[in-house]
Structures are given as C-alpha cells and as structure tokens.
Amino acid sequence: MRMHPSYEMLRPGKKFPHVWCPGCGHGIVQGAIIRAVQKLGLPRDEMVMVSGIGCSSRMPVYVDFNSLHTAHGRAIAFATGVKLHNPKLHVIVITGDGDALAIGGNHFIHAARRNADLTVILMNNNIYGMTGGQYSPTTPIGKRASTAPYGTAERDFDPCALAQAAGAAFTARGVVYNAVELEKLIETALTRKGFSLVEAISPCPTLYGRLNKEGSAVKMLQWQKANTVNVKAAEKLPPDQLNGKIITGVFHDVETIPYTQIYNQIIQRAQASK
C-alpha cells in the first residue's frame, strides 16, 4: 500500500480525527504547507509551528514539527520569542482572522513593523468558527454572523494591505480552491527573510456558509473559483469589475534585513564596546 505523501509529516494515532468540519478549507491549507516544506527540503527538527486559538490554530497538533499552541491572539508574540532566541529555526505562525486581526492585531502589525523573521499563514474564513460563528474583523459589512443576526455594521480588514502598510517584507493571498497556487505562495513565503504573510481564503460552510446562505462546501469552492482574479489580471481591469472579487497572488515582495539579523549586529556592537 502506498502512503499519502503528507502522511509522514503528520502525527497519526491519538491526534486524529481532527477538529475541522467536513468541507472546511483548513485541511487544504495544511496540505499546501506540508508540500511546500517538503519541496524546500526544510528539516522538520528545525521547523516550529506556532499558533493561537481557533479552528486554524489546531493545526500544529497534527503536523509533526516542533509545535507550540499558544493563547488566543498571542502566536506571533510567542513566535517572536522563539525566533529571536534561536534564529536558526524556521518559525511558521498558523493563525486565523479573529486570532491575528482582532485579539492579536497589535502583535500582527508590530511584528510586521519590526520585520520579525516569521512566515505567517493567516487562514481567513471570515468568521469565528470555534466559538460558533461570531463576526470577525474580516466578515464583510452586511454579512450575517451569530452575533450579527441582522448583518454586521462593521467594515472589514484587508490583512495583506494591513501587513504591507505596517512594514511586512512579503504579502500574498491564495484560495483553497487553487491549492497549487496556494502551495507556491507558501513556498515563496518560506524562502523570504523578514515578516512574510500568506492569507489563505478558506471556506467555513458550517457557520459562515450556513448563516449567509452560501450553500454547500462545494458551492462555496465553486464561488471561489468564479470570483478569484489573479493580481496581474486585476491590474488590467477597471475597479468596478473587481468589486466583491478575491484578488490572489503576490502583492508585495521586497528584500529586507530581518529583525534577528539586525539584532545579531547589535550583539556584535555591544560586545565590541565591552
């Protein structure tokens, strides 16, 4: 019997079945991360997966890396400590829209500002899944949630634009429908120095889909397929044709000196003046 190529990177036994609902996109993101790591040949003893709280944040339990499942919103801050103490480690942060942008928003922008050398995979399902479908900072205005029974009154964040404005080195967005592109974006992000963000749009049929009458998991993926525009194609389209569309691809990619490298220079400076 041939084993699934991702199997060796997982923790079988007690850790499965996982908590994700049928039709959830998070498993596709997990698969894309594993394949990207395998493709780059990164040694898993040097991989640290750090997460916060929420559906997406359960991923580190399933993947056989060093794993640190932290408190709600704090993954990026914990990860900053891990990376700063041991810069040799590859630190991937797994987070969700509520975890990264609401309770963890402060850490998100400041990690981008100081260019902490982290690869952040933000799984955006536009809702709080684990607590039962409350609206998040990426729930589009007017959409329903269990705490917005008449639709939300709030505008949503664009995580990639937010990270770029705060100083991130690399920002990109993919959708789980296009798992191949998503995998490539994650692979590129893993090779970049400094703060890298990949926003992975991942449907939540159980809560967001049901509350907003978006149909089955398959229908939600079909909607992704029909409404996704690559950033290069989007550049040629007038703005009115991009309303309500998901733009994917790399938005920002600059060469930077990451925080840990600058801090190593500070250590040299301090030791020279000793």
Partner 1 sequence: MSKDIRLLQGNESCSLGAIYAGCNFFGGYPITPSTEIAEEMALMLPREGGRFIQMEDEIAGIATVLGAAAAGAKAMTATSGPGFSLMMELLGYGCMAEIPCVIVNVQRGGPSTGLPTKGAQADVMQARWGTHGDHPTIALCPSSVEESFKLTVRAFNLAEKFRMPVILLLDEFIGHMREKMEIPGPGEMEIYNHPQPTCQPAAYLHYGDGSSVGGAYASLGSGYRFNITGLTHDQHGFPTGRADEIQWKMDRLRAKVEDHLAELIEVDQEFMDDAEIAVFSYGGAARTAQQAVREARAKGIKAGLVRPITLWPFPNQALAEVLRKVKTMIVAEISQGQLLGEVQRVNQFHTKVVPVQRYDGEMLTPTEVVNAIVEAAK
**Does 166 engage in binding with partner 1 (CB under 8 A)?**
no
Angle at 265 between CA 261 and CA 266, to 5 degrees: 115
Contact criterion met (CB below 8 Å) for 16 and 62: yes
CB of 20 to partner 1, least distance (A): 14
**Does 21 engage in binding with partner 1 (CB under 8 A)?**
no
Q: Which stretch in 81-89, 141-149, 163-171, 184-192 sits in contact with partner 1 by CB under 8 A?
A: 81-89
CB of 195 to partner 1, least distance (A): 14
CA dist 33 and 65 (Å) reads 12
The residue type at 78 = F
Q: Which of residues 77, 204, 207, 221 is near partner 1 by CB under 8 A?
A: 77
Q: Which of residues 22, 45, 150, 255 is near partner 1 by CB under 8 A?
A: 45
* Element housing 173 (H / E): strand 170-175
**Does 14 engage in binding with partner 1 (CB under 8 A)?**
yes
Contacts of 145 (CB under 8 A, 6+ apart): 127, 128, 133, 134, 135, 136, 139, 152, 207, 208, 211
Q: Toward partner 1, which CB reaches closer, 84 or 234? A: 84
CA dist 43 and 83 (Å) reads 16
Contact criterion met (CB below 8 Å) for 173 and 160: yes
The residue type at 209 = G
Q: Toward partner 1, which CB reaches closer, 251 or 259? A: 259
| Residue 55 burial class via C-beta count within 10 angstroms: exposed 0-12, middle 13-18, buried 19 and up | buried
**Does 172 engage in binding with partner 1 (CB under 8 A)?**
no
**Does 197 engage in binding with partner 1 (CB under 8 A)?**
no
- Token duo for residue 255: 């060469």
**Does 48 engage in binding with partner 1 (CB under 8 A)?**
yes
**Does 85 engage in binding with partner 1 (CB under 8 A)?**
yes
Report CA 150 to chain centroid distance, whole Å.
Answer: 29
Q: Which of residues 30, 56, 80, 138 is near partner 1 by CB under 8 A?
A: 80
Please, which of residues 213-272 interact with partner 1 by CB under 8 A? 263, 266-267, 269-271
Q: Within 10 Å of residue 85's Cβ, how many Cβ atoms?
A: 9
**Does 16 engage in binding with partner 1 (CB under 8 A)?**
no
Contact criterion met (CB below 8 Å) for 174 and 112: no
Please, which of residues 93-122 interact with partner 1 by CB under 8 A? 106-107, 110
CB of 147 to partner 1, least distance (A): 22
Sites of contact with partner 1 (CB under 8 A): 14-15, 44-46, 48, 50, 60-61, 64-71, 74, 77-82, 84-86, 88-89, 106-107, 110, 263, 266-267, 269-271, 273-274
